[in-house]
Amino acid sequence: MNWRGPAVLVALLAIGAGSGFAASAQTRDATLGEGVPSPVPASRPDMPVEAPRPYETDPDDPALLPGIAMKPATLGSGKFEITFPAPVGWTTNANASNEWKWKKPGTSNNTYVMRIEQINSQDITIEDAIDIRIERLRDEQEDVVIIERGADTLEYTYRSNEGNARHSFMRWLDLDMSGQADVEIVVHGREVDVEGAEDLIRRVGDGMGGAGATEIPLP
């Protein structure tokens, strides 16, 4: 029987395996590390997530209701005069020569307030005015959420400087049909004031007229 060939092959394989193991043993790093073990940074670490901040408690003043009594009011003069229905009993003060604020006497801050501004000197369309307002809101306020944008209206929520949740309605008017925005109206309130705030800004806007208006409807 010719068995010498296979026997020689087995012997050679055994020698090769032994030589490979010996070479591996010589090159293996068998030293022990020193010092305190430290965590290895993850290849894609998650960014820290901030916990949501609760809003401050709203004042418990009675809510602004729809259908409040209104009376005719006039602002500006000459070609910049505007007439509109305003809430009966609310006081007004001028924030600037072209901007006025209405507030019910005795109500707390961060309840509800109305502001009217003449912006006809800015020569911008209503669409541009809305774009500018959204950009400013996102730059200047926190937690801004745009709820609805219309052709001449904007509804949104945000966090006030005092940390209260605010719900606002805005409307722009082109009183002389020039293609430019003339007046900006805004009503800010709490969530409990939403129905009344929406009703108020609708009635003021629908009843507003420019210079030469002879009759003020009270919708």
211, two tokens: 């210079």
Q: Round the average pLDDT of the chain to a whole number and report it.
A: 83
Measured between its terminal Cα atoms, the distance across the chain in Å is 119
> pTM of the entire structure?
0.75
Range with lowest mean pLDDT among 31-40, 55-64, 105-114, 156-165: 31-40
More confident residue, 41 or 94: 94
pLDDT digits (tens, 9 = 90+) for 47-99: 666 678 899 999 999 999 999 999 999 998 888 899 999 999 999 998 888 89
Architecture of the 70-206 domain:
Sandwich (2.60)
d(CA 112, CA 184): 17
